[in-house]
Structure 1
Amino acid sequence: MLYKKVMQDLKSRIDSDEFNIGDTLSTEKELIEYYSVSRITIRKAVDELVKLGLVEKRQGAGSSVIGKTMTGSMLNLRSTIEYMTEYGVNLEYQVAEFTLINPDEEVAKALDIAKDDKVYFIRRFKIINSVPAMYEDSYMPVAMFPQMNIMSLQGSKYHYLESELGFEIDGAIQDFEAIMPDKHICEILDVLPKIPILRLLSTGKLKDGRIFEYTKTSFKPNTYSYKHYVKR
């Protein structure tokens, strides 16, 4: 679709150095002339950018850039809030579920614990510039964090573990997979059920070798990306 192509080009320009947060996009008339398309096409393209949390429409003031697509590096492990600070965008955490469960075989193996050991199941949504962008399911051993509560999870988990509990995080084993989103993910991230999305599987390790979390994070398309420079 033509408006999708225009949206992708505008998004690339927003993510580049051409625009800073707070800048105003070209006027509707200028965009029509630049892309040689109809007014409807431009409006639909800008509406898509609004849905991604990159642009905000203001009555009588045009459209302003309020965010950029975050790009994570695979060279080091950083929390989402650390990326947010770098990109100057607003991040909110919404804890949807916090319960004690017995792990299934996959989770027990990932955490290197027995199936009768209790784990915290934590479901959180990460909201970037008022747009739900990440759907996160985490599993953490109760034995390692007996005092954990829902208040601990309304911010960065890494900050809580390092600054408040004194744990030393060494890194994480991470893998990516494409999944077909289920009904709930579709509702939260506003994605279509028949289009695959990216999911990150992360197994976090402390410097003493213990595994402290197993997390599955599903991403709303076009709101987050990973890049890695590979040397020959």
Structure 2
Amino acid sequence: MAEKRIAQYRQIENDLLEQINLGYYKKGDLIPTELELSATYHVSRVTVRKATDNLVAKGILQRVAGVGTFVSRSAVTQNPPPIQGFTDLMIEQGLEPTTKVDVFTLQKSPANIASILGIEKEDPIYYIHRQRYGDGELLQLETTYMSARLYPDISIQILESSKYQYFEKVKGIKIAYSHHAVTPIHPSKEVAELFGIAQNTPIIKAANVTHLENGQIMDYTELILNSPKYQLTYIKR
């Protein structure tokens, strides 16, 4: 039981830190209350308090009596490196990249996603879910949010290939860098079945915000990697 409690509070702490570093919660923002976090993670308020206590001790969160818990600063991170897209990486390694688009819908942007993308709340966004394969083996699951107003010509055909190649080679807009926040996790039952691994196998979740050289945000993407077979790699300039 003790090990389970430790895993829970660390998961909450890691999730909050990831959201702060990506700009989901910015300096001065209130994070959800202990009651809300307890309901979200199905844990006690004691477990939530242990997670937030750690971030308060690090100076990332600050409590104000009678008001709530605020973000005081983001964690110290390295400068974000340039990225190498999945398609290019597969080709470089001699594997044939293929992509299956499970979901491609239009929806209104919630406030926090809008903040990350640099758009207005309830602006139209694409919600995209893709499965990425190398030589027919599932290596990566992607959930992506993109501005439909800024990029109205995105299509399933583009998503079945490479977004990065489309922006750089077709639209002529260079990608500057991608800001990664990486967290080790255990897969859900559904993800474990898709990857063909046990649920106790450690894998990697990476959330990233891709920045274009024109100053716009290309997308916000959450990746789940089949880590026993596919590692997150990047080239640092």
Question: What TM-score results when the alignment is normalised by the length of structure 1?
Answer: 0.61
- The alignment status of 1:138 with 2:136, answered yes or no, reads no
In structure 2, what residue type is equivalent to 1:173? H
1:198 to 197, 201, 204: 204
In structure 2, relative to structure 1, the CA distance for the partners of 1:110 and 1:182 (3 Å cut) is: farther
The 1-side partners of 2:224 and 2:105 are apart by: 20
The farther-off stretch of 82-91 and 149-158 is 82-91
Residue 83 of structure 1 and its aligned partner are, at CA, apart by 1.3
- The alignment status of 1:152 with 2:158, answered yes or no, reads yes
Q: Which residue of 2 aligns with 1:31?
A: none
The 1-side partners of 2:83 and 2:223 are apart by: 15
In structure 2, relative to structure 1, the CA distance for the partners of 1:183 and 1:84 (3 Å cut) is: same
1:82 to 80, 88, 99: 88
- The alignment status of 1:115 with 2:121, answered yes or no, reads yes
Asked if structure 2 preserves the Cα contact closer than 8 Å seen for 1:135 and 1:189, the reply is: no
Residue 147 of structure 1 and its aligned partner are, at CA, apart by 1.7
What does the per-residue CA deviation read over 1:71-120, in whole Å, with 9 as the maximum and x for residues that have no partner?
A: xxx85311112111221112111111100112334422221222211110
Equivalent residue pairs, number: 157
In structure 2, what residue type is equivalent to 1:127? Y
Residue 229 of structure 1 and its aligned partner are, at CA, apart by 9.6
Q: Which residue of 2 aligns with 1:125?
A: 131
The secondary structure found in structure 2 opposite 1:151 is helix
What does the per-residue CA deviation read over 1:126-184, in whole Å, with 9 as the maximum and x for residues that have no partner?
A: 11122111001111100111122111111111011122222221111111012343343
Ranges in structure 1 where 5+ consecutive residues have no aligned partner: 1-73
The 2-side partners of 1:184 and 1:139 are apart by: 22
In structure 2, relative to structure 1, the CA distance for the partners of 1:224 and 1:208 (3 Å cut) is: same
In structure 2, relative to structure 1, the CA distance for the partners of 1:181 and 1:139 (3 Å cut) is: same
Residue 208 of structure 1 and its aligned partner are, at CA, apart by 1.7
What does the per-residue CA deviation read over 1:14-73, in whole Å, with 9 as the maximum and x for residues that have no partner?
A: xxxxxxxxxxxxxxxxxxxxxxxxxxxxxxxxxxxxxxxxxxxxxxxxxxxxxxxxxxxx
- The alignment status of 1:211 with 2:222, answered yes or no, reads no
In structure 2, relative to structure 1, the CA distance for the partners of 1:84 and 1:113 (3 Å cut) is: same
The 2-side partners of 1:81 and 1:189 are apart by: 19
Which of 1 and 2 has greater Rg? 1
The 2-side partners of 1:98 and 1:192 are apart by: 29
1:96 to 78, 94, 102: 102
Asked if structure 2 preserves the Cα contact closer than 8 Å seen for 1:133 and 1:219, the reply is: yes
Q: Which residue of 1 aligns with 2:20?
A: none
- TM-align CA RMSD: 2.2
In structure 2, relative to structure 1, the CA distance for the partners of 1:227 and 1:131 (3 Å cut) is: closer
1:171 to 177, 184, 204: 177
Asked if structure 2 preserves the Cα contact closer than 8 Å seen for 1:162 and 1:168, the reply is: yes
In structure 2, relative to structure 1, the CA distance for the partners of 1:228 and 1:115 (3 Å cut) is: closer
In structure 2, what residue type is equivalent to 1:136? E
The 2-side partners of 1:104 and 1:147 are apart by: 22
The 2-side partners of 1:197 and 1:86 are apart by: 23
In structure 2, what residue type is equivalent to 1:84? M
Ranges in structure 2 where 5+ consecutive residues have no aligned partner: 1-79
Asked if structure 2 preserves the Cα contact closer than 8 Å seen for 1:137 and 1:216, the reply is: yes
Asked if structure 1 preserves the Cα contact closer than 8 Å seen for 2:82 and 2:234, the reply is: no
Residue 185 of structure 1 and its aligned partner are, at CA, apart by 2.2
